[in-house]
Amino acid sequence: MNVGLLGLGTVGGGTLTVLRRNAAEITRRAGREIRVTMAAVRDLDKAKMYAAPDLKLIDDAYAIVDNPEIDIVVEMIGGESPAKELILRAIENGKHVVTANKALIANHGTEIFAAAQRKGVMVAFEAAVAGGIPIIKAIREGLTANRIEWIAGIINGTTNFILTEMRDKGADFADVLKEAQRLGYAEADPTFDVEGVDAAHKLTIMSAIAFGIPMQFDKAYMEGITKLTGDDVRYAEQLGYRIKLLGITKRTKNGIELRVHPALIPARRLIANVDGAMNAILVKGDAVGVTMYYGAGAGAEPTASSVVADLVDVTRMHTADPHSRVPHLAFQPDTLSDEPILAMDDVRTAYYLRLRAFDKPGVLADVTRILADLDISIDAMVQKEPHEGQELVDIVILTHTCLEKNVNAAMVKIEALSAISEPVARIRLEELAK
Amino acid sequence: MNVGLLGLGTVGGGTLTVLRRNAAEITRRAGREIRVTMAAVRDLDKAKMYAAPDLKLIDDAYAIVDNPEIDIVVEMIGGESPAKELILRAIENGKHVVTANKALIANHGTEIFAAAQRKGVMVAFEAAVAGGIPIIKAIREGLTANRIEWIAGIINGTTNFILTEMRDKGADFADVLKEAQRLGYAEADPTFDVEGVDAAHKLTIMSAIAFGIPMQFDKAYMEGITKLTGDDVRYAEQLGYRIKLLGITKRTKNGIELRVHPALIPARRLIANVDGAMNAILVKGDAVGVTMYYGAGAGAEPTASSVVADLVDVTRMHTADPHSRVPHLAFQPDTLSDEPILAMDDVRTAYYLRLRAFDKPGVLADVTRILADLDISIDAMVQKEPHEGQELVDIVILTHTCLEKNVNAAMVKIEALSAISEPVARIRLEELAK
């Protein structure tokens, strides 16, 4: 099998490095050589470090996707264009595709898989979700016996690094972000990471393969970590919780939840102890119960680990009849389900609410009445000591499971109370068990 | 594909239940129906609960392995005989085999796979290791890019339950074992679990697929948890460690380590926090780094989850040419390596040593001299307060990495000191990082 790489950046370079270093081991496993014969790069000068007699370096990606001698195209350019056009052209030319491009798969996966289906080729994308963790394979093949009930994961290393630092140092978001940027854990423009977009891309992909639904990134709810304060992190800790940015997708009787937001998790849960830039994903199946998958969610060689595993898989399945291959979306294309994605208003979960109030009599009575009127039952309520020299006190409320739209309505009413000094801080709370 | 089940006990019954309950979901994934048409049971009366018009219940297992209409035989009898004979006969008859039998695979896997190879059929055994966790698939397919460096796992639920209780309740082994037996977490004869035999079966299988070596259960080092005391668990905790029964297999320049024994693990490691009857496995690959896989390691439906996943895999790969299938031992049969399994004497790790001594001057000097003479360097040494009303004190020593045979020699010399009142307690210490 001849392989052509599109892009030799972090992931592309890592892929070439791993394929070269472990060539003997990989051949022992795959039973045949995986030969990278071409690589397309933007800057031929920069790519000189990868030069080798058996590798043709070029600056025209179309010369790879149109080359009849190439069997598998590995797309590691990222972004939507020209990655999408190149992949569709490769498929049109009868080539298999391996990609690490989560934005592309989450937004255009359904179209790409349909094209691949028509041509009888494979599109593999293990590296698009959670870097080196073989989570796509686990859900799609390891757990085929199960009706998947929910998936919840820490699937963005940047935000997990920031949240870990906020907890360890008692610092606020903005200060830790600067430190993370200095250390290379966050990009100069961190929007995709800190606003939950990157996590939502990965979650959309997992949701599709868990439930057998089309990719529906446009319906994902996204809330980032930019508004979290050191106070909330500390209060959560005092109540026995950790705050993590979670991607959650869950099958309910009304539809499928698809949401990324910060969440309180009981500190005793294993996943609450996943720190730094690491990723971890919980999958709940009806037969197996909860399983967890942990590892590096990014980085050159961890991501290359998944790209190369896909290359071996595609090489092995190349000769199989297309119907016998593992379906792209885990379920046979003609059996995809049209279960709706739930609007965030219709999601049910528990909540942490933090109110900042002037310490006047009657505030608690007003707040509890508002909550009761909206069917929101209180699990715990704590009035914190006022910050030194301030007349404001923080009131922290944990609710039982209730309807998101009722919590939204309650927040509006609470914020209208004269004793309340600023918007209510609301963080969802996930038990992640049962 | 017509499937015949051998055995309808815990795992067999669970498999049938899951296949029936999730039939629609499984067919949506596999693209074809998986029909269980026959099941062999010892007691037809007991199996009545599983009766159905499309299932033939019989008490002769050979009537299944010899039936030309059966495509896949699922062996869930356990033990070595007649399971081995039945599986070999099924293979001889050209049938694929799925098995949950770890003792059989660890002891006779090499012979069974060779027979399967000759006949061009598949033998799948995901359920033999760590119940519902798809760890075989992860190592064999998910991490193909990697040179695996080591695997370390909590792969026996009974002992992990006992160790968790010992820590939580400060109790000794014997008391907790009784409680575990009462709750059904331990068998009436717990030998295989508490002496590390069950863990060594699973470890042997993982070692073979990680390193591409034949199954060599006879060379596995096994040490159980029966000698652990509440004192050791408590001292470990005070030093920042947890005690777990670990299965460890590691590639070194001299050979492969294959060992099951209790070990101190830094309490901050995620795997140190895997409690109760749960399993977790760390896999270190050179490209991906450390990944971890967590879930239920036993039980009817978790194990059935893996059996059914294997059924779907075998169904999918049925039409592939045998050379393109995933090799049984992860590496192509003609590339298996003859790297030796290291004798335990030649293993290098760190150690916790607990000495019980009469509180006399000069003891510490004698002990430290013995250790220094044998190239054992001390990381920490703590003399504990004497137990109330006793003249004996405990001395706890943590060593840096050193050679097992030197530690054995040191223990003999230390025990010969007149101030030492009883055998040295020795527990290995594993950092589980890098």
**In the numeric block, which tokens belong to residue A381?**
């309520």
**In the numeric block, which tokens belong to residue B13?**
């019954």
Residue A385's pLDDT is 84
Residue A103's pLDDT is 97
Side-chain-side CA neighbours of B72 within 13 Å: the count stands at 25
What is the sign, positive or negative, of the torsion defined by CA atoms of B352, A275, A434, A137? negative
**In the numeric block, which tokens belong to residue A125?**
């994308």
Put simply, whether B22 touches A (Cβ < 8 Å) is yes
Q: Is A327 helix (H, G, I), strand (E, B) or coil?
A: coil
Question: pLDDT below 70 — which residues of chain B?
Answer: none
Residue B324's pLDDT is 83
Residue B31's pLDDT is 85
**Alpha carbon distance A356, A392 (integer Å):** 6
Range B348-429 has CATH code 3.20.20.150:
no
The verdict on a CB contact (< 8 Å) between A134 and B143 is yes
Backbone phi, then psi, for A26, in 5-degree steps?
A: -70, -40
Q: Is A97 helix (H, G, I), strand (E, B) or coil?
A: strand
Residue B214's pLDDT is 95
Residue in A with minimal Cα distance to B209: A29
Q: Are B114 and B238 in contact (CB under 8 A)?
A: no
Put simply, whether A296 touches B (Cβ < 8 Å) is yes
The verdict on a CB contact (< 8 Å) between B29 and A126 is no
Annotated binding site of A for NADP(+): 6-13
**Alpha carbon distance A113, A107 (integer Å):** 12
**In the numeric block, which tokens belong to residue A187?**
């990009």
CATH topology of domain B2-134+300-335: Rossmann fold (3.40.50)
**Alpha carbon distance B335, A139 (integer Å):** 30
The verdict on a CB contact (< 8 Å) between A312 and B273 is no
**In the numeric block, which tokens belong to residue A281?**
């994903």
Closest CA to B132 of B7, B280, B311, B298: B298
**Alpha carbon distance A224, A243 (integer Å):** 12
Residue A75's pLDDT is 98
What is the sign, positive or negative, of the torsion defined by CA atoms of B143, B146, B147, B153? negative
Backbone phi, then psi, for A400, in 5-degree steps?
A: -75, 180
Nearest to A133 among B291, B295, B327 (CB): B291
Residue B422's pLDDT is 93
**Alpha carbon distance B46, A140 (integer Å):** 35
Per-residue pLDDT band for A319 (boundaries 50, 70, 90) equals confident
Count of A-B CB contacts under 8 Å:
231
Q: Where are the alpha helices (DSSP H) in B138-196?
A: 157-169, 173-183, 191-194
- How far is the first Cα of chain A from the last one, in angstroms, to the nearest whole number? 45
Q: Which parts of A312-377 are beta strand (E)?
A: 348-358
Side-chain-side CA neighbours of B329 within 13 Å: the count stands at 29
What is the sign, positive or negative, of the torsion defined by CA atoms of B93, B323, B103, B274? negative
Nearest to B29 among A25, A133, A330 (CB): A330
Q: Which residues contact A418 (CB under 8 A, 6 or more apart)?
A: none
Indicate the residue type of B326.
V
**Residue from B3, B305, B334, B432 to probe the interface with A (highest A Cβ count within 10 Å):** B305
**Residue from A136, A146, A251 to probe the interface with B (highest B Cβ count within 10 Å):** A146
Indicate the residue type of A220.
A
Total count of residues recorded for chain B: 434
Per-residue pLDDT band for A334 (boundaries 50, 70, 90) equals confident
Is residue A394's pLDDT more than 80? yes
Closest CA to B325 of A97, A325, A121, A116: A325
Residue B184's pLDDT is 87
A277: distance to nearest CA of chain B, Å? 13
Residue B27's pLDDT is 92
Backbone phi, then psi, for B325, in 5-degree steps?
A: -75, 165
Nearest to B288 among A289, A295, A335 (CB): A295
**Alpha carbon distance B419, A190 (integer Å):** 64
The verdict on a CB contact (< 8 Å) between A293 and B288 is no
Task: List the Cα angle A386/A387/A389 in 5-degree steps.
Answer: 100
Closest CA to A411 of A426, A427, A428: A426
Annotated binding site of A: 6-13, 102, 187
Residue A178's pLDDT is 94
Of all helices (H) and strands (E), which one includes residue A125?
none
| Neighbouring C-beta atoms of residue A400, cutoff 10 Å | 13
Is residue A388's pLDDT more than 80? no
Tell me the C-alpha to C-alpha distance, in Å, between residue A421 and each of A228, A236, A369, A385, A391.
17, 21, 19, 16, 11
Residue A322's pLDDT is 83
**Alpha carbon distance A421, B93 (integer Å):** 79
**CATH 3.30.360.10 domain residues, chain A:** 135-296
Per-residue pLDDT band for A32 (boundaries 50, 70, 90) equals confident
Residues in chain A closer than 8 A to B212 (CB atoms): 28-29
Closest CA to A374 of A327, A339, A406: A406
**CATH 3.40.50.720 domain residues, chain B:** 2-134+300-335
Per-residue pLDDT band for A396 (boundaries 50, 70, 90) equals very high
Q: Are B351 and B381 in contact (CB under 8 A)?
A: no
The whole-number average pLDDT for the span A44-67 is 96
**CATH 3.30.70.260 domain residues, chain B:** 348-429
Per-residue pLDDT band for A324 (boundaries 50, 70, 90) equals confident
Range B135-296 has CATH code 3.40.50.10240:
no
Q: What secondary structure letter does DSSP report for A50?
A: G
Per-residue pLDDT band for A199 (boundaries 50, 70, 90) equals very high
Residue A344's pLDDT is 97
